[in-house]
Amino acid sequence: MGKQDATPKSQDLARQSPTLAASPPVPPHKGEGGPLALLITEHGTRRLHALDAAARALGLYPGQKATDAAALVPELQTHDADPEGDAAALTALGDWCVRFSPAVALDGTDGLFLDITGVSHLWDGEAAMLEDLLARLARLAANGIRAQGAVADTAGAAWALARYGEGPVVIPSGGQSAHLAPLPVAALRLDAAATAQLPRLGLTRINRLLGLPRAQLTRRFGPLVVRRLDQALGHAEEALVYRRPPTPWFDRLAFAEPISQLDDLVRVAGDIAERLCERLRTEARGARRFTLTFHRLDGKAFPVSVGLSTLGRDARALTRLFAPKLETIDPGFGIEIVTLTADGVELVSAAQGQLDNSRAAMAEEGLTALVDRLSNRLGEAQVWRAEVFESHVPERAVRAVAPMTPAAATRWSPDRPRPLRLLAHPEAITAVAELPDEPPVAFTWRGRRHRVRLSEGPERIAEEWWRKPIDAVSTGLVRDYYRVEDDVGGRFWIFRAGLYGDPAVTVRWWLHGVFA
């Protein structure tokens, strides 16, 4: 296994005909025998979209007009194609493939790329892995999925061999050019124009392209040909869009007998966590998020994940966090495979290890565990610590940060008294003020009248005008805050919005908070 080489090994799986896949649109009783085609309407014309092997053998081809095909082959059975359903089925199949590798990329409408770097040892080699994948696909769904696959250093080479090669093949590392040479140029994933043009010039096979001057090729057929060639041979990088980012921190457990008891699920969660955490420990690393996926016999996958506030690799703590979430798993006819991936893997700094025995470390650990329990049970946004946000507007002066992040040095200014309770929205009050620029002598809030005994202020806070379009800025957005105390000791934070003297602005009083 080429773990040491930088290029990811990719496995490409090409499905022969997209519409005969995981969700077969054909009722089973019509499926036997005769040639079958799926139709699609393009610009008002019914055309063949996909064909089965029997129809292909009769000389029909995708893109042919349906009427022509019916004239040539009267016994042709036709059904409507369902491209959206196919795309959904391919996505579901991609999720199903996560049992083989966490990095799965969809390729067009009928292919999947799996990055199997660092994963194939779980199957004792790439050939066994490919065989297992194809065998499982053949058993999946009612009719099975007819699939072809190949393993190669590059995605391009794997694509070519899966679609144009003969049977499943595993190319040894660096052996792409020998295997690609006899294939037709269409195996290079070219655009339609180049695919049609190249054979007309006698360039039918890839080996003919290899010797040609690159500048000429680019000038005549555009940059795509040379780039695809380089990508297939491993001279150029190719970025695949994975359904989730690839991670080498992956483990799986497969069971001879499917499991369904909750106790068993918890136990296997512990077992697999133990394995992955052991790997993390030997490399002195920890992870921030673990995703445990249960793969059911019928191909459905149920992921559960836990997030940690600090780098973690303690299998027992992890199992405790997973355990309450496993009750939501519906095992159906049984779970056959469990996978675990770790994300946000980082080196655990040596300082953390040295503190292990001290009292401070115990307190830190207890707190971290509490935060993890609460945020996994209640949601990560529900557990936070308040931190300063540089803004004078009171409702924007606080931002929530994860509880275990180190505290920032900035503090709220102690010179400006702030209420202990800040209402989410200021509430309108009716206030009586003797003079326009003075605090009120009495106000009514929530139906209760408060006589102001003492007051303090104003503290003028202007709206952050730069956050609004220029014509929306007005003196109506200036707030004069007063601290007032009523005759029974209630202390409130009220403000007057707007300035007197501007005829365009109506001055209103609001209550924004309550002091302790």
Closer of 236 and 397 to another protein (Cβ)? 397
Q: Is there binding between residue 503 and another protein (CB under 8 A)? A: no
Q: Which stretch binds another protein (CB under 8 A): 43-51, 198-206, 335-343, 383-391?
A: 383-391
Rounded Cα distance, 55 and 36, in Å = 6
**Nearest-approach distance from CB 118 to another protein, in angstroms:** 37
**Nearest-approach distance from CB 487 to another protein, in angstroms:** 7
The DSSP bridge pattern shows strands 442-445 and 169-170 to be: unpaired
Rounded Cα distance, 99 and 121, in Å = 14
Q: Is there binding between residue 435 and another protein (CB under 8 A)? A: no
Q: Is there binding between residue 513 and another protein (CB under 8 A)? A: yes
Binding mask 142-181 for another protein (x = CB under 8 A): ----------------------------------------
Cβ neighbours of 214 (radius 10 Å) = 12
CB 509 within 8 Å of CB 430:
yes
Q: Is there binding between residue 302 and another protein (CB under 8 A)? A: no
Q: Is there binding between residue 459 and another protein (CB under 8 A)? A: no
Whats the size of the chain, residue-wise? 516
Rounded Cα distance, 294 and 302, in Å = 5
Task: Write phi, then psi, for 341 (nearest 5 degrees).
Answer: -120, 150
Q: Is there binding between residue 462 and another protein (CB under 8 A)? A: no
**Nearest-approach distance from CB 446 to another protein, in angstroms:** 8
Peptide bond into 199 cis (omega under 30): no
Q: Is there binding between residue 253 and another protein (CB under 8 A)? A: no
Q: Is there binding between residue 363 and another protein (CB under 8 A)? A: yes
Query: Tokens 């049977």 sit at which residue?
Result: 167
Q: Burial, 316: exposed, middle or buried (Cβ in 10 Å; 0-12, 13-18, 19+)?
A: exposed
Closer of 180 and 371 to another protein (Cβ)? 371
CA 332 to chain centre: 26
Q: Is there binding between residue 366 and another protein (CB under 8 A)? A: yes
Q: Is there binding between residue 411 and another protein (CB under 8 A)? A: yes
Q: Is there binding between residue 324 and another protein (CB under 8 A)? A: no
3-state SS record for 164-233? HCCCCEECCCCCHHHHHCCCEHHHHCCCHHHHHHHHHCCCCEHHHHHCCCHHHHHHHHCHHHHHHHHHHH
Cβ-proximal residues to 138 (8 Å cutoff; 6+ apart), any chain: 144, 145, 146, 147
Among 299, 419, 426, 498, binds another protein (CB under 8 A): 419
- CA-only gyration radius of the chain, Å: 33
**Nearest-approach distance from CB 484 to another protein, in angstroms:** 8
Among 220, 235, 267, 453, binds another protein (CB under 8 A): 453
Cβ-proximal residues to 188 (8 Å cutoff; 6+ apart), any chain: 156, 160, 206, 225, 228, 229, 232
**Nearest-approach distance from CB 454 to another protein, in angstroms:** 5
Cβ-proximal residues to 445 (8 Å cutoff; 6+ apart), any chain: 427, 429, 492, 511
Closer of 163 and 450 to another protein (Cβ)? 450
Q: Which stretch binds another protein (CB under 8 A): 31-39, 59-67, 265-273, 421-429?
A: 421-429
Query: Tokens 């609001």 sit at which residue?
Result: 510
Q: Which stretch binds another protein (CB under 8 A): 3-11, 287-295, 326-334, 367-375?
A: 367-375
Closer of 11 and 376 to another protein (Cβ)? 376
Q: Is there binding between residue 3 and another protein (CB under 8 A)? A: no
Among 38, 321, 371, 494, binds another protein (CB under 8 A): 371
Three-state DSSP at 441 gives coil
Closer of 278 and 395 to another protein (Cβ)? 395
Closer of 223 and 366 to another protein (Cβ)? 366
Q: Is there binding between residue 364 and another protein (CB under 8 A)? A: yes
Q: What is the DSSP letter of 472?
A: G
Cβ-proximal residues to 377 (8 Å cutoff; 6+ apart), any chain: 324
Q: Which stretch binds another protein (CB under 8 A): 104-112, 122-130, 203-211, 450-458?
A: 450-458
Size of the site for another protein (CB under 8 A): 54
Q: Is there binding between residue 365 and another protein (CB under 8 A)? A: yes
CB 485 within 8 Å of CB 389:
no
Query: Tokens 């009495």 sit at which residue?
Result: 442
Among 135, 347, 370, 472, binds another protein (CB under 8 A): 370
Per CB under 8 A, contacts with another protein among 10-49 are none
Q: Is there binding between residue 393 and another protein (CB under 8 A)? A: no
Q: Is there binding between residue 423 and another protein (CB under 8 A)? A: yes
**Nearest-approach distance from CB 90 to another protein, in angstroms:** 38
Per CB under 8 A, contacts with another protein among 469-498 are 483, 485, 487-491
User: Closest by alpha carbon to 96, among 141, 65, 62?
Assistant: 141
**Nearest-approach distance from CB 510 to another protein, in angstroms:** 15
- Measured N-to-C along each axis, helices 223-233 and 155-164 cross at an angle, to the nearest 10 degrees, of 90
**Interacting residues toward another protein by CB under 8 A:** 362-367, 369-371, 373-374, 377-378, 382-387, 394, 397-398, 400, 403, 407, 411-412, 414, 416-424, 446, 448, 453-456, 483, 485, 487-491, 513-516
